[in-house]
Amino acid sequence: MNRRIETTCLLALLMVPLASASAAECLPEVRDAWVRLPPAAMPMMAGFARIENPCDTPVTVVGADSLAFADVSLHETREENGVSRMREVDALPIAPGKAAELKPGGLHLMLHGPYQPLAEGEKPVITLKLADGRTLPVVFEVRKTAP
């Protein structure tokens, strides 16, 4: 009888790290990622996407970078007293089972200093940085208008 209890306890203890590892491996899913192509060559562009959190725990996007741009940052456009204002956002928390929309006129990625002109249909990679130190490379498609 004691041997059976010891075996059961040992199996339970061995399964704990497996459960923790699978939770740590869960990453947000990014859909409809695109970069707006400006009408003329400009030193900045904007990136949009839907970031879904299928995980059991919250995830927080705390930054981004790309080999295609000198600087990538998370921004939000808000209307204040009838004037549209943009400000940098330090973190984007996403609750379990929820999503964040990066879209024109709201949250978006500000893409500064493209290293070379981008054309419609090109697919730069932008890597999202998560608060826990993990990264998520995402392929964005350059488009003239929203999908």
- Give the pLDDT of the chain (147 residues) as one tens digit per residue: 444 444 333 334 444 444 433 455 899 999 999 999 988 777 899 999 999 999 999 999 999 999 999 999 999 988 888 888 889 999 999 999 999 999 999 999 999 999 999 999 999 999 999 999 999 999 999 998 766
The CATH class of the 27-143 domain is mainly beta
Paired tokens of 100: 């964040």
Q: Are 136 and 29 in contact (CB under 8 A)?
A: no
**Domains in the chain: boundaries:** 27-143
Whether the Cβ atoms of residue 47 and residue 102 lie closer than 8 Å to each other = yes
In this structure, the strands spanning 29-36 and 141-143 are parallel
Picking from 44, 39, 35, the residue whose alpha carbon sits closest to that of residue 147 is 35
Q: What pLDDT score does 9 carry?
A: 39
List beta partners, residue 125. Answer: 139
pLDDT at 83: 86
Give Cα separations from 90 to 24, 32, 81 (angstroms).
Answer: 22, 23, 23
Q: 62 near 131, Cβ under 8 Å?
A: yes
Residue 24: predicted pLDDT: 59
Within 72-114, residue ranges assigned H as helices are none
**What pLDDT is stored for residue 147 in this prediction?**
65
Q: What is the pLDDT of residue 43?
A: 87
Look up the pTM and report it: 0.80
Q: What is the distance, to the nearest Å, from the Cα of residue 67 to the centroid of all Cα atoms in its chain?
A: 16
